[in-house]
Structure 1
């Protein structure tokens, strides 16, 4: 049986007034659709026609990456078919029969937008591009991107291949929960084998935000004539991870920088649990010298806070009703979670403050005798 105590923590938050944030000039965004969200909470900090249906072009590859990371083995050898090697558009320059590791294929997809690599990965994992695209669509909708439908893994034009800025922001925020996702999309340069050539492939990330913007850590560019210039960019500062999306933009770099600057002024990180804080006690059964054991936070928890958030965060402390000795100092006993509107945005383990030895057999028997005598005196005296 486990007990769950819910504590509202609005008291530790403070209101950030417009004056405290500084004056923010209105944005002049050229993109037809745009949005900025905070990744952990999903809070929208800026939006423009964010729910309009748009062609995503190569930002599609964010979903390709997520699906491949969750389905694939990064050490698998992936071999390019004729269909993969002759795929139109941007390329990793794969030849028919050429093989790379799954991980290298994914770097090729995200750094230089290799359409050929997306086909090779799709065929390897699902047997065909349409089958893989269905897996992408299913996963997107499981994430909550319900206005998204994929027909291919590259983002090449198709009337039935579409999303929204809001959906793509959700998809990308989900990606940042996967450690390899962040590693891949934030890599500036990658050297990998090039079969049949005298030198390796030397790939440079096409996402210029990695060089232009302080804290930038991904994610993907895109362009087709139908989609226009598209960019999903991400940046992390002081523990706050933002996702910005622009679709069909005349100045996608300028738009994205302006949107991120604007949004970082609206939000800040706030420590809500300090490492070492005593947050709960638990009853110890058969402990030699302790009946109650303090539990402390193993790590600190920092949350993203904006001006109207003070009532939206709660903590949930989850520990057993009792624990049996022996207990080692630092042993995990429970967990505390921080929720934003019932969505988990942070957590840490609750661990034992002290070691507790188990009572000897004699002491356990003597305690049982004492309990029995006490019971008899109360009930039969």
Structure 2
């Protein structure tokens, strides 16, 4: 009994003040948004140059890789989006169906008017052919056929459209149909359309569809289709690779466009424009000329060190879980700031790749991007006898220092 008591006292001496370590497991955490700015960047202070003048009532220029807004005019104003609605329709079809699936056109879909593929009730086409008809020819009938095929009914599909828009952060959008014909409450904003397009362009199938200038195919016995893209920018602007036009009397002339040069992609949105192609080219020229991308963090690269108590090493490196590149002005040194949100220290043991904090990148005083910080290595806990010895060595020094302060 006495020996057990002595052994217990020795254990208390060894571990006292250190705390018995608890095995750390990587907690389940919600995905961090890579890009933070959901509002407009102040264009005048961000660029330092006169922004382009556009005739559009609302416009946005966005850097696709960073999500940064380089130009904004009434960016969050809800407006009729016309056929730019089809961007979201195509995205849901690609994510929810297979391109080789055969779709039978219903009488309801075939009856949709305005811009159309001129489909017939009972006609059978692949989902891919309907997507080309929706995005190149801007066929409203194709959109309803797609909606009914994917969700069972147009109403169900519209529900999914609004859910997807909310999930992607399109806070000023509400859709009432899959094609964009005028309807009470069918609204979106220039920023929301850029946001949806940025997400859609990550899908290689979507990119291929919206960059196609011409598509022809036979659909016996119904005939032959020759589909020319309504986006004239694909023929006239260097690097243009999408996305969708839209025109109604209420929405005016609209265009969501993208262009890529030297590894950079820009997304432009103009709504109710007097010259949608001129406005778009002016915005894209501005973005390519006045801004460049700067890499501020690389995935897996150590960007900070934090102290570790009771470990075989005294500090652990923290690494970014992704590469962050931000858009900065080219004509002057940019004001880029890294802000770390991490604990002051850790207690060993630590596993590798444990999420322990975040890194925020600010450009010109605006929060732009964020990455999760992970432990760059595992840290084992020192053996008990070494911790005990370390504590014994430190305690006399602390007591001596305290005696000196009292003197």
TM-score (norm 1): 0.71
Deviates more, 1:255-264 or 1:113-122: 255-264
1:27 and 2:65 aligned: no
Q: SS at the partner of 2:71? A: strand
Q: SS at the partner of 1:193? A: strand
Deviation at 1:25, TM superposition (A): 4.9
Residues 83-122 of structure 1, C-alpha deviations (whole Å, 9 max, x = no match): 1112101112221111222122112111110111100010
Q: SS at the partner of 2:98? A: coil
Could you tell me which residue of structure 2 aligns to residue 160 of structure 1? 185
Residues 21-78 of structure 1, C-alpha deviations (whole Å, 9 max, x = no match): 9x95552211111111112332211111222221100001011112212222222211
Could you tell me which residue of structure 2 aligns to residue 219 of structure 1? 243
Q: Which of residues 157, 162, 168 in structure 2 aligns to 1:137?
A: 162
Structure 1 residues 119 and 309: CA distance shift in structure 2, 3 A:
farther
Distance of 2:340 and 2:262 partners within structure 1: 21
1:264 and 2:255 aligned: no
Deviation at 1:161, TM superposition (A): 0.5
Structure 1 residues 80 and 345: CA distance shift in structure 2, 3 A:
farther
Alignment of 1:1-381 (within 5 A): 1=24, 25-197=50-222, 199=224, 201-271=225-295, 303-306=326-329, 310-312=335-337, 340=361
Deviation at 1:323, TM superposition (A): 9.1
Deviation at 1:248, TM superposition (A): 0.7
Contact 1:36 1:259 in 2 (8 A): yes
Q: Which runs of 5+ in 1 are unaligned?
A: 5-17, 281-295, 325-331, 352-370
Compare CA radii of gyration and give the structure with the larger one.
2
RMSD of aligned Cα (Å): 4.5
Deviation at 1:192, TM superposition (A): 2.8
Distance of 1:308 and 1:139 partners within structure 2: 39
Distance of 1:308 and 1:257 partners within structure 2: 26
Deviates more, 1:306-315 or 1:82-91: 306-315
Distance of 2:293 and 2:111 partners within structure 1: 47
Contact 1:58 1:156 in 2 (8 A): yes
Distance of 1:67 and 1:275 partners within structure 2: 30
Distance of 1:98 and 1:250 partners within structure 2: 38
When the two structures are aligned, how many residues end up with a matched partner? 339
Q: SS at the partner of 1:265? A: helix
Deviation at 1:191, TM superposition (A): 2.5
Q: Which runs of 5+ in 2 are unaligned?
A: 1-23, 28-43, 305-318, 342-348, 377-382, 391-407
Residues 344-369 of structure 1, C-alpha deviations (whole Å, 9 max, x = no match): 6899xxx9xxxxxxxxxxxxxxxxxx
Contact 2:324 2:369 in 1 (8 A): no
Distance of 2:303 and 2:91 partners within structure 1: 36
Structure 1 residues 314 and 105: CA distance shift in structure 2, 3 A:
farther
Structure 1 residues 304 and 315: CA distance shift in structure 2, 3 A:
farther
Distance of 1:248 and 1:222 partners within structure 2: 9
Distance of 1:63 and 1:162 partners within structure 2: 13
Contact 1:238 1:269 in 2 (8 A): no
Distance of 1:135 and 1:86 partners within structure 2: 23
Structure 1 residues 258 and 99: CA distance shift in structure 2, 3 A:
same
Structure 1 residues 101 and 52: CA distance shift in structure 2, 3 A:
same
Could you tell me which residue of structure 1 aligns to residue 21 of structure 2? none
